[in-house]
Amino acid sequence: MAGRQSIARRDQPLRNKDRARARGTGPVTGNGSAMTLRFWGVRGTLPAPGAATVRYGGNTLCVELRCGPHLLILDAGSGAHVLGRALAATGVPVDADILLTHTHLDHISGLPFFAPLYDPRARLRFWGGHLAPPDGIRKALLLSWQAPLQPNLHAEFRAHTAFRDFVPEDDLPLHPGLRVATTALRHPGNAIGYRIDWGGASVCYITDTEHPPDGLDRNLLRFVAGTDVMIYDATYTETEYPSRAGWGHSTWRAGADLADAAAVRCLVLFHHHPDHDDSAMDAIAAAVEERRPGSLVAKEGMQLEVGSPP
């Protein structure tokens, strides 16, 4: 089972982050100045349900990030359905910013089934920066919510929604004291990386991206420098990657190299290949622990507290 862990403040020893706490089953609740992450979907490409993936999870990408009282949702793959049910069960109206890396289906497939969209009390803001005018995030999402791809479910949405486009390197004006920086990632059709800073702590969300053939991505080296947590696309092993070069995804080893060079405190591997069952993921976890001790492999239900005292 995934558990809750703490990532220490910058002035505390990193080893303290490995202290586990009890696992919860609902959404994260705000806890003052801390940033709290919860993983609701960790697979890339397509869901991978079944007994062989039960420990790491089979839902596609969705991460809940609480910055004090503020709710951010990073991507909305099939894991967003589960998050939506948990949010609805609290009875509290949802006010959230949904930051999308791009609109490939594994990042948006949960939205038509995201319960807060059907709640007239909810306020949801969708952000996207990968599409060039005249296209935009609203147009892309509406196309995915109507025939022939869906039975016009969007006609049933009742939430207050807003759609906001930006360009890479923009800072997004979400809330006072909350900085959200953006950058372009190396992915077919474009994708966006996010860096969220709150209360002296930071999280970088870096998926989907491919490392350069000649070493480190210099742009990402700048962007993630010194962050507390880097969530990184680790779709392929080193053996798998050569036949898939150019597909817009990376490896755990490239993530470890970037984390070392950028002085990242905690590397979290993410966007797991749907063919990697629990045994394969265990092997990756062991390899990255040997290469960069203290690194984590994302699991559904895993919760991290970033910037809280050890």
Residues 70-108 have pLDDT tens digits of 999 999 999 999 999 999 999 999 999 999 999 999 999
Residue 204 near residue 195 (C-beta atoms within 8 A): yes
Q: 64: domain range?
A: 4-306
* Burial of residue 100 (number of CB atoms within 10 Å: 0-12, 13-18, 19+): buried
Q: CA separation (Å) from 195 to 48, 99, 178, 180, 189? A: 28, 11, 10, 6, 21
Rounded to two decimals, the pTM is 0.91
* Structural domains counted in the chain: 1
Question: From the centroid of its chain, how far is CA 73?
Answer: 8
Report whether the peptide linkage leading into residue 148 is cis, meaning its omega lies within 30 degrees of zero.
Answer: yes
Residue 28 binned pLDDT confidence (cut-offs 50, 70, 90): low
Dist CA 41 CA 19 (whole Å): 23
Residues 6+ apart with CB under 8 A from 280: none
Residue 152 binned pLDDT confidence (cut-offs 50, 70, 90): confident
Position 228 pLDDT exceeds 70:
yes
Angle at 85 between CA 127 and CA 142, to 5 degrees: 35
Angle at 83 between CA 82 and CA 87, to 5 degrees: 120
Report the CATH number at residue 103. Answer: 3.60.15.10
